[in-house]
Chain A
Amino acid sequence: MSVQATEHHGRGDASTRAPEGVRRTRPGSAYLAREYGIALVVVALFVTLSIASPNFLTTDNLLNLLRQNAAIGIIACAGTLVVIAGGFDLSVGAVYFLSGIVAAWVAVHVSVPLGLLSGVVLGGVLGLVNGELATRLKISTFLATLATSLAFAGVGAALTKGFAISVADPSFAKFGNGGLGNLTYPVIIFVVTAVVLQVLLWRGVAGRYIFAVGGNAEAARNSGVRVDTIRVVTFVVSGIAAGLAGVLDASTVSSGGSDTGVSLPLTAIAAVALGGTSIYGGAGAVWRTVLGVLLLAMIANGLDLVSVASYYQDILKGALIVVAVAVNSLATSR
């Protein structure tokens, strides 16, 4: 049996699995690599890029980098909860797409505030559909969300007939383009999402339940935890995040449905995995997912600046994911 022995409550406990009867008080190197390896890699890449390109370490570039990755960041943070609880959400791209379309349509035909709201609410509803499908029909979350992903994207395409819905009202664009000082709303929302979800995992009862459900669903059930409800909640959170991300991006470009979001689910899972969250559930952290998002973003942004072709970037991303998952598996299987 592979035991997930990890520390995710932010204190310095022993971690890697020790043979029965042996108590390890000092964290092993594999554990440290898993817990803080991502941080080291991010710092190293940041320093390297700052030296290699004069255009990397500028306020404009960094803010731009954050802005461009706010949507995927929000989605990946919420997706971390789904993965910790033992699931996958492959439908986030389709939810992102459909929410943007509905937000734009309602903004055009009803009102702008209602449009923005409806996109987010729709995301939550679609997440609920995912969660209920997976738990009630006992379908694997991987397949359930693969199926709904097709259906949701199909609905979106049917609504738009392939043409994005433009919103003329300039107030629609404020949500995605406005901000406080230098920070745009999408960046602020990304940061707030990450902080709230991480604190929830550390200090919330819901966090305890999510870890327990992903770590040992049977034990959680025997402890009176509503295992299915917890799983559904993680999908609702993921849906809301995807809806929010879709609305933000639709607002930024003043139109809904211009981005189908097909690459989002896998990028989000890649970021979660880079952050060392176990894809078997029961262990993980939102802050590390944020670093995973930033790592992927810096590879794209920084290597563009130093003129490395995008296919090399993809090779590097793939290699890093393999390393991250290998470190994770070493840290938990020993």
Chain B
Amino acid sequence: MGTDTARIELREVTKRYAGNVAVEGVSLSLAAGTVHALVGANGAGKSTIGKMIAGAVRADSGEILVNGETLNARSPREALSHGVTLISQELALVPELSVVDNVYLGAEFRRGYVLSTRRARRAFQELVVQSGFDLDPDTKVKDLGIADQQKVEILRAISRRAGVIVMDEPTSSLTADESERLHDVIRQLAANGATIVLVSHFLNEVLMLADTVTVVRNGELVSTGPASAETENTLITAMLGHAASADYAERHPVAAGAPTVLEVKNLRRNEALRDISLHIRAGEILGVAGLVGSGRTELARAIFGVDEVDGGTVTIDGVRLAKKPGPRTAIERGVVMLPENRKLEGLVMGESAAANVTLPYLRGRRGPIASMGWMRTRREQRQVAELLGELSIKPADPSAVVATMSGGNQQKVLFAKCLFRPPRVLLLDEPSRGVDVGARKSIHELINRIARQGTAVLLISSDLEEVLALSHRVLVLHRGSVAGEAPSSASMDEVMELAFGLPNGNRGISLGHTRSRA
């Protein structure tokens, strides 16, 4: 580390994505040799700030200073030359190379064109002593666990004399044990004089490690202060601010005698889902809330059968789905899923809207739009055009290629695909992601309408306001388990407390039938 105990200063930094403010006029000062945490709700801008400090994202305006020098890094490499480095969730390592080769990648010891393994090895040993990381230099990186891979990145950072290390959600994919080891590393780095910028969802982690905590909300700085003055509750209040006003349609009541349509029991899938049970009645919307990595998406995928599960059952209308289900069986039984990422998992972008909408419904000898293996194109065009019109896609042209449509219309085409045949169970994963305000509102109305018609709806969203406003009940997940269930009348604070894994939602939220790990 030596002399360069860098400190960072941000002056009126602003960043916009496609006109939307991600970070607005943030000024911040980070002291040398401290751990400085950035917290905030999803989309608050904390990651963007971290990435701007590390040069992975360039600020639109404002200044970032390192040791009083202006750093307008265009690339992580340039930031690194100023002693700033980023360790993100996506690790930047070469899996087939050894630990030592990865550490010195791009800064090899060499004489002319000949690499000097001996000098690299000696330098590596010094690093190991300095950091206290016990890593075998010859192990291939692909054979390491994620925590150890992160150590390799940290060693690389130290070897380049990085005085500032930005860590973006470093523990989100680690086990509890691995997290603890990483925490030790972070403390040690700070003790050696490095400045750590810690972007994290986990408030207990933040309070344990950080010297200073900065809260951001909607791209703006809310507060900065010593971590010792904060509690998880004060942080959550600061992150959420005032309760946002709801501009949502009236929720319809679930009929008193409505039968249970979807029942999930003890669903397990390695670390991602731990013993999850839930049920949804006809016409009911069950919201699912939780932090990134809490198992929300994994839950929908497991029910739909995209991912194989280690145990547990899924029952539709009292009849179990096949033991080894897949999307094919699920669709046959009236279960459809609107996936999180429409471009990767949902739509064939080069195909027409009609081809996308009807793709799940071409089976059977005498289907409505395909019979004996041949398309009934005219009927298909007419029915899809009608549906697109109902979903107010303009123009309602079934032969328009999906790639040419706006994000909002693409999302509606995806809805049309789910609704072409009225489903029994609709699994929605981030149904309003990446659409504008208008499309968002009509999607919300649509979800209400579908439920009113008797479909059981599972609604996953990282937008807590959306979940609370639309759902009849909200299931809160924390690290793969059900942390509790909240009624639709619950406040955002209450749900957040569960999502952050705080000991029993202390404001009267039932922990229901679950085994809370908290």
- Residues of A in contact with B (beta carbons under 8 Å apart): 1, 3-7, 9, 11, 13-15, 17-18, 20-24, 203-209, 211-212, 215-216, 218-226, 282-283
Contacts and interface: CB of A to CB of B under 8 A. Distances in A.
A21 B407 contact: yes
A240 to B, nearest CB: 17
A209 B327 contact: no
What 4 pairs between A and B have smallest CB-CB spacing?
Answer: A4-B350, A215-B348, A224-B328, A21-B406
Interface string B368-394: 001001110100000000000000000
A292 B337 CA distance: 41
A17 B404 contact: yes
Given A20-B407, A205-B375, A224 B349 contact: no
B374 A24 contact: no
A13 B346 contact: no
A27 to B, nearest CB: 10
Interface stretch (B110-118, B357-365, B490-498): B357-365
A11 B404 CA distance: 16
Interface in B383-425: 399-401, 403-407, 417
B483 to A, nearest CB: 28
Given A205-B374, A209-B362, A224-B363, A13 B352 contact: yes
A283 B352 CA distance: 12
Given A14-B401, A208-B362, A223-B327, A4 B355 contact: no
A283 B377 CA distance: 19
Nearest to B405: A23
A203 B375 contact: yes
A3 B355 contact: no
B349 A24 contact: no
Interface centre among B351, B356, B370, by most chain A C-beta atoms within 10 angstroms, is: B351
A215 B351 contact: yes
Contacts of A207: 375
Contacts of A9: 352, 355, 399
Interface centre among B332, B349, B377, by most chain A C-beta atoms within 10 angstroms, is: B349
A204 B401 CA distance: 19
Contacts of A15: 401
Interface centre among B306, B348, B406, by most chain A C-beta atoms within 10 angstroms, is: B348
A203 B360 contact: no
B343 A220 contact: no
Contacts of B401: 5-7, 13-15
Nearest to B372: A205
Contacts of B431: none
A13 B350 contact: no
Given A9-B352, A203-B377, A208-B355, A224 B405 contact: no
B208 interface: no
Nearest to A212: B348
Contact of B347 (A17, A21, A219): A219
The SS class assigned to the A binding surface is loop
Contacts of A205: 362-363, 370, 373-375
A23 B337 CA distance: 27
Given A220-B359, A283-B350, A14 B404 contact: yes
27 contacts: A3-B349, A3-B403, A4-B349, A5-B349, A5-B350, A6-B350, A13-B400, A14-B404, A17-B403, A17-B404, A205-B374, A209-B362, A211-B348, A212-B359, A215-B348, A218-B344, A218-B345, A219-B344, A219-B345, A219-B346, A219-B347, A220-B348, A222-B304, A222-B327, A222-B345, A223-B360, A225-B359
A256 B242 CA distance: 83
Given A13-B399, A204-B375, A205-B362, A219 B348 contact: yes
Interface in B35-69: none
Interface centre among A9, A15, A21, A219, by most chain B C-beta atoms within 10 angstroms, is: A219
A216 B373 CA distance: 21
A215 B306 contact: no
A263 B133 CA distance: 57
A24 B402 CA distance: 11
Given A205-B375, A215-B350, A224 B355 contact: no
Given A7-B401, A24-B404, A204 B374 contact: yes
Interface centre among B363, B401, B405, by most chain A C-beta atoms within 10 angstroms, is: B401
Nearest to A217: B348
Given A1-B343, A20-B407, A205-B375, A221 B362 contact: no
B400 A23 contact: yes
A45 to B, nearest CB: 30
Contacts of A223: 327, 331, 359-360, 417
Nearest to B301: A222
Contacts of B344: 216, 218-219
A18 B406 CA distance: 10
A282 B350 contact: yes
A245 B370 CA distance: 32
A226 B403 CA distance: 24
A21 B408 CA distance: 8
B83 interface: no
A22 B403 CA distance: 10
A14 B405 CA distance: 10
Nearest to B304: A222
Given A23-B406, A219-B347, A224-B331, 20 more contacts: A6-B350, A7-B401, A9-B399, A13-B399, A14-B400, A18-B404, A203-B374, A204-B374, A207-B375, A208-B359, A211-B348, A211-B355, A212-B348, A215-B351, A219-B348, A219-B359, A222-B304, A223-B327, A223-B331, A283-B350
Contacts of A5: 349-350, 401, 403-404
B339 interface: yes
B277 to A, nearest CB: 24
Interface string B143-162: 00000000000000000000
B332 A224 contact: yes
Contacts of A1: 343
A273 to B, nearest CB: 18
